[in-house]
Amino acid sequence: MNVDMIKPYRYIIYKLMSSLAKRNSSPKSGTLAILTFVHFFYVSILILIVSVLFPSFGSHILTFNRVGMILYLLGLFAVNYFVFYFRRDWDAYIQEFSGESRTQKLWGNIFVILYVFAGMFLAIKSWEWVASNGWFIDVK
């Protein structure tokens, strides 16, 4: 059985691009920006999990400043640019999923909204949990 593990992610890119294409002159850039922030939240959750599992490591990594946060976002943006934007697969994503039925579109929209907002919600809640447990997060 050959399972395509990347297909759900291609679908997320397709849904973001097709949604932004309706209201934005540059759907690729908008998709790239949204993916950068979504990855920021999910990577932050992974950092917090590692910090909880390895407290000596966590005391160093949970001290952020604004410059570090900006560099972190710029780094993610650069990685996303070379992994997603620089590729020429954008039209293939649109062709792959363009024949959806109304029901598939509805469930696809729900899936993408849950993916984007679940990352933000989980990151914010995990940051609150870290702060409430006495971990030091300093955003200057």
Q: Is the residue at 2 inside a domain?
A: no
The per-residue pLDDT for 140 is 46
Q: Is the residue at 138 inside a domain?
A: no
Which range has the worst mean pLDDT, 42-46, 76-80, 88-92, 110-114? 88-92
Q: Is the residue at 77 inside a domain?
A: yes
Indicate the number of domains in the chain.
1
* Separation of CA 26 from chain center: 19
Q: Is the residue at 140 inside a domain?
A: no
Per cent of the chain over pLDDT 70 is 78
Q: Is the residue at 26 inside a domain?
A: yes
pLDDT tens, position by position, 34-86: 888 888 888 878 877 777 777 776 656 656 666 777 788 888 888 888 877 76
Domain extent at residue 119: 7-132
Task: Tell me the C-alpha distance between 132 and 64, whole Å.
Answer: 17
Task: Tell me the C-alpha distance between 25 and 20, whole Å.
Answer: 8
The per-residue pLDDT for 120 is 84
pLDDT band, very low/low/confident/very high, at 133 (cuts 50, 70, 90):
low
Task: Tell me the C-alpha distance between 114 and 78, whole Å.
Answer: 25
Q: Is the residue at 137 inside a domain?
A: no
Q: Is the residue at 70 inside a domain?
A: yes
Q: Considering the chain, what is the average pLDDT of its residues?
A: 77
Q: Is the residue at 72 inside a domain?
A: yes
